[in-house]
Structure 1
Amino acid sequence: MTPEAKARLKIDEQLDEAGWKVQDFKQINLGANLGVAVREYPTDTGPADYVLFVSREPIGVVEAKAFNTILTFVEDQTERYANSKLKWKVRATPLPFLYESTSLVTHFTDGRDPAPRSREVFHFHRPETLADWLGQPNTLRRRLTEQMPELPVRNLRDCQVNAVTELEKSFAYNKPRALVQMATGAGKTFTAITSVYRLLKFGGAKRILFLVDTRNLGKQAHQEFHAYTPPDDGRKFTELYNVQRLASNTLDPHAQVCISTIQRQYSMLSGEPIDESAEDVSLNEVIQTENQEKAVVYNPAIPIESFDFIFIDECHRSIYNLWKQVLDYYDAFLIGLTATPDKRTFGFFNENVVAEYSYEQSVADGVNVGYDVFEIETEITKKGSRLKAKEWVDHRDRLTRKKRWSQLDEDTLYNGKELDRSVVNKSQIRKVIQEMKSAVETVIFPNRREVPKTLIFAKTDSHADDIIASVREVYGQGNAFCKKVTYRAEEDPDSILSSFRNDYNPRIAVTVDMIATGTDVKPLEVLLFMRDVRSKNYYEQMKGRGVRSLGFDDLHRVSQSADSAKTRFVLIDAVGVEKSLKTDSRPLERKPGVSLKDLLQGVAIGHRDNDTVLSLANRLIRLAKQLDEKTLGRIAREAGGVKLPELAKRLLCALDPDKVAEAAITAAQVEGTSRTEETLTEEELQVARTQRLTEACAPFDKPELREIIEAARLEREQVIDHINLDQVTFSGFSEQAEVAAHKTIQKFTDYIAAHKDEIAALDFFYQQPYQRRRLTFEMIEELHDALARPPLLLTTERLWSAYYRVQQSQVKGADSKRQMTDLIALVRFAIGLDGELKPLADTVNLRFQEWIFRHNGQRTTAFTPEQTEWLRLMKDHIAASCGIDRNDFDYAEFADKGGLQKAWRLFGTELDMLMNEMNKELVA
């Protein structure tokens, strides 16, 4: 047989696997199957190797070649057959689907794409798929070019807008792979879901795969899909599209998004059973050996076209070698999401980096916080130790932890790396925990009353148990204080993790790898490493657990003695992990012992070394988070309108090596010299760096700016005076506050007058008597939203306070908590319907008393105590919601007492009449 004939035998098998009925031209039977592949079909330019028919109509050709053929050389031949006239078939347009194949390598081109381009595919597509594609007015790639509308930017950070926009440009250019590099904490998953939503809605994608590193991250991604609300639709993502988190090897045919680990994808394709625990281990921690390559063969149950796009969250080294064939299997666009790329990452994604957002940029923008490194070193950690033969010691089973007391047969030497694996030294663990406690209380967070939320990375599950026992002992606390969050935790790890995020306890959590990557715990302020890490990228991700910024209110909720927003986290290195690896991100704080005043003075004098500039930028970023808007405004005025975070950002940007190189190239071009990054001299780079630093540091030449920054820092510190006693000399609002209150009231009344015909709630009061139309909560909500938005910012609290300051004698309930329905009272008071401003609930209570007194006087039998209790419940609901109907009996306050069924038993046919009366008389 010729090499081409051998290739054709294999191609026949592949077409058959994909669902095609392969026939010789002489035995042609186009009714034998939906898809028929006819060998040697005659055309006016010669016989085509295969012509593909779907539903008796020709749709494509396959050009078969020998195993060693370079397929790009034969594309013209395939195109010629596609444009030829087929014997006994009349077709005005060329056949759209073109394949070239050696059986080992197959290329595919869709001639209907804009700028049709061949791509390598693992196998042939199924006839049902090609029929479906033909039935669509445009191809996927044409839709990506022509049908993607402009991205709404509401609720998106600038870096997220840039990532989605640039990713869609990459799709429009038909680039098969793209990389999104975003710092941990910048919202990679939210960005990806935004893109997924647009690809489904506007791109017409059939199904998208979201690959995650571990099962836990799959669970977290699933929750984020459930929580996501698109900007152009009020429904949740999962109300619009089916999302399947794969927990078995069955693909839901109706799922439009599938969340899976790459291990499970391999199991599905290969048919090999999966060890559930394999999905609990980050593939960053798996060491590849030569015989671990994951070979993949075609699986008819999961064809190559099963997914149109594959988003790879935290794309790690394993996808470039160990599991690469799983990704190569699918005919899909590949999108990588990572905070920590390396050279292999860039290479795998064809150097198509569509978005870059570094950790330093995220700190400068306030998305993340900077960090400091605090080292703890012990003698045994560094040097190990020795146990002599015949010593009586405990021996413990790693899994059951059962102990036996026996003598050592021989001397046992161990080093620091063997700790907590072959040898456990309780004293070493205890010394580290004791030193951490002392350092946090006296040096790191000396003003905290409670332990800051702390995460400890352990080597193994057994090591985690030893650490927990030591933490509880050293801190003298109970079980709730310190918990284990691992896949093997005795308690539900998800509930522990939720408590760690949101509740006071646990203060300290110990993990191995369950929350080492991707899992957010924003209140974290201390990371203790009691394990080293093999992978640089994995270490970066582990550090990322602490970078998330958090506002004062949210931090104060779990750490009550925190006196500001989260401004940093501290990495405590107890095993030399920081020294054993070179990391991509680095602590911005390089001179922790130098005061802010001295850093400012040093930069002004001319100290422009990296450590000084980075430390100053870090201090300014932290300070900006602690100051109020008024103080920040004073600093900005002194800096010529530049805000404090921007001053810090300019310092960081001045040291950015890429920007320095760009500046040097531009300077060379101005001088008429052509330069590239590779040909720049050190002298040219130094000149550019000096120039950028001079510009960034120029504002600090002004002593006034340095003084106001230092004064702002000192304002954060307090001296407690317990000697001089105070007394009241005046009580009342200041004149300035009264003027502001008048302005607030005027804005409110002007808005009402200007919009009384446009907004339903205002139109109700001006035009409609309450007997003709019921005021609804939706009307009030519409008015509330219009008033609360910029530039008015007129909330019910602000308006009530303003009226109280100006017309105190006519305003009641100034100290009570405001409800949205209090806006009704504000409108009535503003337009003169009421002479007194009081909470709507007070008005409703008064009217209810009059209404029920009148009813009891008119009825043959007064309302029973149980009926009266239910009427009061209905009254309270009306005060909070403007009205009541039958559907409202599903709410808890009614449902817990029997709901609509109970109300109907109490009031019978009177129920609807009573509700209508109360709606009319109690509110409007």
Structure 2
Amino acid sequence: MAGVNKTHLTETDIITKFILPAIKDAGWDVMTQIRQEVKLRDGKVVVRGKLAARLSVKSADIVLYHKPGMPLAVVEAKANKHEIGKGMQQGLDYARLLDVPFVFASNGDGFIFHDKTNPAQLESEIRLEDFPTPAQLWQKYCAWKGFTAAQLPVISQDYYDDSTGKSPRYYQLQAINKTVAAVSAGQKRVLLVMATGTGKTYTAFQIIWRLWKAKNKQRILFLADRNILVDQTKNNDFQPFGSAMAKVTGRKVDPAYEIQLALYQAITGSEEDQKAFKQVAPDFFDLIVIDECHRGSAAEDSAWREILEYFSSATQIGLTATPKETDDVSSTDYFGNPVYTYSLKEGIEDGFLAPYKVVRVDIDVDLQGWRPTKGQVDKHGELIDDRIYNQKDFDRTMVIDERTQLVAQTITDYLKRTNPMDKTIVFCNDIDHAERMRRALVNLNPEQVKKNEKYVMRITGDDDIGKGQLDNFINPKKAYPVIATTSELMTTGVDAQTCKLVVLDQNIQSMTKFKQIIGRGTRINEKYGKLWFTILDFKKATELFADERFDGVPEKVIRTTSAEISDPHSEFDELLADEATDEAGAESASAAEEHAATYSAAAGDNSGDFEEDEQRKIRKFHVNGVVVKVLAKRVQYYDADGKLVTESFQDYTRKTLLKDKEYASLDGFIRKWHSAARKQVIIEELEQLGILWQVLAEEVGKDLDPFDLLCHVVYGQPPLTRKERADNVRKRNYFSKYSEPAQNVLNSLLDKYADQGVQEIEDIQVLKLKPFDTLGRPLEIIKSSFGNKQAYEEAVNELENEIYQLA
């Protein structure tokens, strides 16, 4: 390219004419090793009011691969007018996401090469013709990772190539590659921690596929404790295994299949003849993958742990969103520290998971308590124990009908204001509470129930009709059921992609359980308009968001006394409820009850009640005629630092703009606004920062366009309405320099601005609308009034300058 003046070339030209040729000349294959415009994140969703917007994200200019799915280097380009290394910091950010040690920055003159494998000189300048070969970078990469020659056949095994074009996201690549590397190095216990909704099962499939195809692992068992999890896995992500795969049924392990999927409950039990896993030798399986390993398999005395210990010679990979750390149950004690963690906060920041808005509702009896009058009896004639009942008691030991009604009314009012057909899960304290909540919601929504009696359904472990509707509830294509009331059954294993409202009327003290429940809403489904969700909290459960353990290290629960074990909110009872409500049915429930019987202090059954001993259940009083009211509501948003903040959208807009260099001052903002040929470009740019104009205008309560909204909200200037700005333009009589036809067009454009804003007049299509349509086609109007298109655009630009003249 000798003689080419690079300084006039665009960034795209620099890539096409200089950077790509240099890479190809070094021997990189265009089809399998070079990818351009690699989008690593989806763009965080910002929510305010009823609206949401995705923030824009940049793509990596070029990513180089050893082979598909195995990234090696990032190349970041800039136009030649920039310094050669300007793109380095951006490239380093992408390299961190991809876990690669090599970054190249270039402006077309050469490369700045950042090489983490060479700590003696991290960055050096190299010529275009000296770009390293694939073999050179792969060799340095393997040394950096510490791979041995024996590992390379497994490390290099291809991913499953999905014909639909589905490929792993950056964090899935990290999880898969780190796990395959650990297994190939001989690590026997591997833990992967990935937030709910981030594709753990797809990740597990790719891990198993590569190890299986490399013949590193030949007989593989996938274990789960919910029937729905096994079936979803078999029918969806694991489908490519085809005839090599089977689900264990009828308590029989068929050794003919290489890939076996099983429920714990289907291959073990309390009796020796129920232990189907012993039909094969202890060394039969060489790989076991355990889904949701924070539950039964993590407990040392669990019957399920017996399976893992029987196959102790196998490599065992644990998958969980919520690793559990208690005295009795430890994911990390068994599996070791995670080889990779991808958190809920990271998922939301990257735009792969839905953010949440929290509406906290404080009810007077919850905060102030309720005490019976002397000698008061409940609805059933039971003398009520004389004490003060508070939030922790309601719907466990004390039922107040009016409180149930108020919660149901608040849910109904929220859905009527938003969308009555938004999928909603109401988490209740027990099955009795879930049934009363179902009834209250039915009575408050007669029009919706008349359209379809399944508008509200109780979906709990004891009800086959309700459980039969679970698949319909989670299916985006099925409108009904809309509202599901539940207690334990839907806390895990429910892929509710379109759930937009999660209601918490349950006492939640376990961080593990809280994370699982929040995970019901975190999936995104843009096709069905699900970008975010709301948490309606009646029990202060969302205070757990402020706990550093929410998105940090697992909780550590210390148990020391039998009294603590019998606490109805304990980790033991949570585990018990998980087991007892499993969709495997009566076998699972009875096994859990037998397990529970060994604890004299505590036991539980599928009703959700908690027994103090075999004879006496906790007493539950039931009253009505109590005046109950809402004391306060407050709305909180998920902020950029992962915390819930109570702030207006005006606060959010002010903070967002003032920390941006270009908008940090009023002068800077006005300078940028006036320099923009089209104001729409700035409006769209700010939308990508999460500035939602409709929400901002509603909050300010004035008919202002984006310019005045920002001048007022961010910089404290007195605002002008669009009509006031239009009137000021007419008073200055600047139209007089134009011909009469041109004045008519500009006056009509000014009217359009006053009615609908600057975006309307910048679109040339406005000339097709009234009143312009009576003057002819757009090109005819432009020619007869202004002479040509350039003169018309200059006149519109001048009109905008007049509109935004500051007083």
Taking structure 2 as the reference length, the TM-score comes to 0.48
Report the structure number with the largest CA radius of gyration. 1
Tell me: higher relative CO, structure 1 or 2? Use CA pairs within 8 A at least 6 residues apart.
Answer: 2
Higher relative helix content: 1
